Amino acid sequence: MNTQKINWYPIVILGLLALLVATFAALVYRSAGDQSQNAASAFTRQDAQYEWKLVTTWPKNFPGLGSAPERFARLVDEMSAGRLQVKVLGAGELVPAMGVFGAVSDGAAQMGHGAAYYWKGKLPAAQFFTAVPFGLNAQEMNGWLHYGGGLELWREIYAPFNLIPFAGGSTGVQMAGWFNKEINSVDDLRGLKMRIPGLGGEVLNRAGGTAVTIPGGELYTALQTGVIDATEWVGPYNDLAFGFHQVAKYYYYPGWHEPGSVLEFIVNKDAYESLPEDLQAIVSAAARDASQDMLDEYTARNNKALRELVDNHEVQLRRLPDDVIAYLAKINREMMEETAAKDPVFARVYEAFKAFGAEAAAYHEISERAYYDTRELNQLKQD
Amino acid sequence: MNTQKINWYPIVILGLLALLVATFAALVYRSAGDQSQNAASAFTRQDAQYEWKLVTTWPKNFPGLGSAPERFARLVDEMSAGRLQVKVLGAGELVPAMGVFGAVSDGAAQMGHGAAYYWKGKLPAAQFFTAVPFGLNAQEMNGWLHYGGGLELWREIYAPFNLIPFAGGSTGVQMAGWFNKEINSVDDLRGLKMRIPGLGGEVLNRAGGTAVTIPGGELYTALQTGVIDATEWVGPYNDLAFGFHQVAKYYYYPGWHEPGSVLEFIVNKDAYESLPEDLQAIVSAAARDASQDMLDEYTARNNKALRELVDNHEVQLRRLPDDVIAYLAKINREMMEETAAKDPVFARVYEAFKAFGAEAAAYHEISERAYYDTRELNQLKQD
């Protein structure tokens, strides 16, 4: 009965206004939702970004030894989806080669790559974690470090320097080195001027030679000019790249002084502990991968390089005589005992190393060595 | 002029209705926003959760060999901050031991752990990726797989099964096995009933023996009751746990038939490719770590177990005579050539394996083997 006419105009206006307000409110609300979502994910998912410097004792892109830090950085980048960026700096870029230990200890860099025996001046016992003459080969070193208590000892002696060490590569049994004098007897060691670092150098000095320390980049010239009579380096794959065959005649084996040299990654303890647990685990696994990878590369590539040296460059491959080996082994035992008598930390690591070494060497007599002996009679023997 | 009266009642009702609709729209919009936000973050931050099954050819918590999948699962959990959960299922839990290859191929499980030579029925060439009699030792296998083209070949022959293989452990040189008959000459191989799988079993059959296949759990009883005269297993650390010394007299070396057995992780290709790149890298590095870790554990623990066997359990440690070794090596060469003549895939892998093996064996003559020889004269020799 009341047919009142409705004016729709203001109703539509107000309705549209309400929709506009509501839409605006919804957008604000959604945006706030976005922010809380982001904040929660940053906290719970530990996706903070870390930028680390890794200083090395090698020049940038150094063949062989220098590939481990590059591989490490790449693996960490991939596994962390870029959350931990590791910048590799060669010797001299941030600190000189021999400044790596100090720089990582101080925190000037978060990581370093090199070899523990470079720090023998600070810490004589560090040498056990690279190479001991007549000591452990690569497989045995890995067994000692990861299941024989070796890594725990290494971490204990580096702890006062605020450093955590990891195995960072292995060369396998090295060559005895490049010589311009033949070694036919113990007498030929007398007066021999040879670049040979670490405990092996100590042995040479006691055998009447002169161990000298010359950086890798100067060795070629030192051999060429006769400043030294001999140098050890690594093995065929690495040595070919350095061109030592152009300035030395004889290539001797076996590498009694470095039977399975281990390289090292060192990590500043505060930097390591500042990482979330997943990135700590990633650093650890990347180091283990890069460490094993180096040995695999040398194992696969050494012989081709050796053939090239012998077949195309007239290198004379020679075995050190048994009496020379026996003499060096005897001097080495005396030197190790005397060093242990002077340094209680060295003595403690030496005892652990000897105990493990006796077990590992005994088992490898009937396994690895006995197996190598069977090659005299099978199809893999190359002759 | 026209002072028409406005009826506010329907306007207010409609306005409230519009607000209600708008609020509802806003809530729906926000909810949709959340979902798209989650999807976007899953894509960019790759923080979706993955649950994988890893089926093994070993019983749950199997000593030695069974520790690799457990370590793998733990490392992946740590490195992925729990985003990839790997559940290890022992033989018989989801599929029987010999069903692992099929289950991972089908996608019933995302991963498996075992040994490639178990699949020789499907794929004879798979045996190269575990062990070849008189073939490569552990260090050489790692070199071949990672720098000698071995892994690429392995992946190529597994690709038709939708599987990606990774090295999954190494035992080092195994022992020749447990015997209740002395092996003094080639004649003693005739009639010998021995549990020995893979290519080594083929060699024994050709030498006049009988190679039988018996699961690990039944070996003890089979030796005890005389069903078999001998069995190979792994090495002292593993064998001690199985108690074989209680039912066999002689423990022979060296393990000519398995000089450096490699275990395997297999991953379903679709499952692997469904992972974001960081988790793929984590799977790869965790496999490499677990693979190397197994060898380190055996290297560190074998000799203590061997001493216990010899000193406390009157096990007689024996070396296989040289003429027996030479005879087995000769038969092995013939068997390998004949198998290659029948199977082109086997032939192709064999050529690659031989070429790599010749190089690696030649270099190890002057490095690893020559170094082991120096132990006759130094302090690590145990006597």
Nearest to B19 among A22, A143, A366 (CB): A22
CA distances in angstroms from B224 to A139, B94, B228, B231, listed in the order given = 35, 31, 8, 11
Name which of B41, B285, B332 is nearest A285 (Cβ-Cβ): B285
In whole angstroms, give the CA distance from residue B250 to residue A240: 47
For B49-72, what is each residue's pLDDT tens digit?
A: 999 999 999 988 888 899 999 999
Residue A368 has pLDDT above 50, yes or no: yes
Please tell me the distance in Å from B265's CA to the nearest CA on chain A.
16
| Predicted confidence band of residue A215 (pLDDT cuts 50, 70, 90) | confident
**pLDDT over 70 percentage in chain B:** 87
Mapped to the 3 state alphabet, what secondary structure does B257-278 carry?
CCCCCEEEEEEEHHHHHHCCHH
Q: Do A372 and B371 make contact, defined as CB atoms within 8 angstroms? A: no
| Model confidence at B10: pLDDT above 60 | no
B21/A contact by beta carbon, under 8 A? yes
Q: CA-CA distance, A190 to A209, in Å (whole number)? A: 5
A308 touches chain B (CB under 8 A): no
A7 neighbourhood in chain B, CB within 8 Å: 4, 6
Under a CB-based contact definition with an 8 Å cutoff, are residues A254 and A137 in contact? no
Q: Which tokens go with A42?
A: 């940053």
Q: Are B295 and A139 in contact (CB under 8 A)?
A: yes
Whether the ω angle into residue B254 lies within 30 degrees of 0, i.e. cis, is yes
Asked if the Cβ–Cβ distance from A367 to B254 is below 8 Å, we say yes
Q: What is the mean pLDDT of chain B?
A: 90
**Cβ separation of A139 and B139 shorter than 8 Å?**
yes
Give the other-Cβ count within 10 Å of A60's Cβ: 14
Q: Are B100 and B55 in contact (CB under 8 A)?
A: yes
Mean pLDDT, rounded, for A142-165 = 98
How far apart (Å, rounded) are the C-alpha atoms in residues B216 and A375?
A: 30
* pLDDT of A213 above 90: no
Q: Could you read off the pLDDT of B134-150 as tens digits, one per residue?
A: 999 999 999 999 999 99
CB-CB neighbours of B40 under 10 Å:
12
Task: Give me the pLDDT at residue B16, please.
Answer: 57
A338 vs B: CB within 8 A: no
What CATH number does the domain located at A50-171+261-298 have?
3.40.190.170
Q: Are A34 and B35 in contact (CB under 8 A)?
A: no
Chain A residues whose beta carbon lies within 8 Å of the beta carbon of residue B29: 26-27, 30
CA distance A236 to A307: 9
Counting Cβ atoms within 10 Å, is residue A320 exposed (0-12), middle (13-18) or buried (19+)?
Answer: buried
When CB atoms are compared, the residue of B33, B253, B292 closest to A366 is B253
Domain boundaries, chain A: 50-171+261-298
Please tell me which residue of chain B has the smallest CA distance to A260.
B368
Assess whether pLDDT exceeds 90 at residue B376.
no
Q: Rounded to whole angstroms, what are the CA distances from A234 to A297, B15, B121, B289?
A: 13, 86, 44, 25
CA distances from A157 to A101, A170, A347, B165 (A): 13, 21, 12, 39
* Residue B7 with chain A: CB contacts under 8 Å: 4, 6
The partner residues of A86 in beta bridges, in order of sequence, read A52
Condensed to tens digits (0 to 9), the pLDDT of residues A4-13 reads: 455 556 555 6
Task: Give A375's contacts in chain B (Cβ within 8 Å).
Answer: 134, 361, 365, 369
Joined together, the tokens standing for residue A172 give 């396998």
Interchain proximity A377–B26, CB inside 8 Å: no
Asked whether A219 and A247 are in contact (CB, 8 A), the reply is: no
| A145, HSE (Cβ side, Cα atoms, 13 Å) | 30
| Cβ–Cβ under 8 Å, residues B320 and A344 | no
H or E, element range at A363:
helix A344-364
> What do you get for the CA distance between the two ends of chain A, in Å?
120
CATH number of B50-170+261-298: 3.40.190.170
Q: Please give the structure tokens belonging to residue B257.
A: 């038939």
A362's CB contacts (< 8 A; 6+ apart) are B303, B306, B382
pLDDT for A17: 59
Q: What ipTM did this prediction achieve?
A: 0.87
How far CA B319 is from CA of A367, A371, B255, in Å, comes to 10, 11, 10
Q: Which residue type sits at B323?
A: D
B190-235 pLDDT, tens per residue? 999 999 999 999 999 999 999 998 877 789 999 999 999 999 999 9
Token pair recorded at residue A211: 């161990």
Task: Name which of B126, B140, B133 is nearest B170 in CA terms.
Answer: B140
Cα B329 to Cα B334: distance, rounded to the nearest angstrom: 9
Give B22's contacts in chain A (Cβ within 8 Å). 18-19, 21-23, 25-26
Q: Within 13 A of B166's CA, how many CA atoms are on the CB side? A: 26
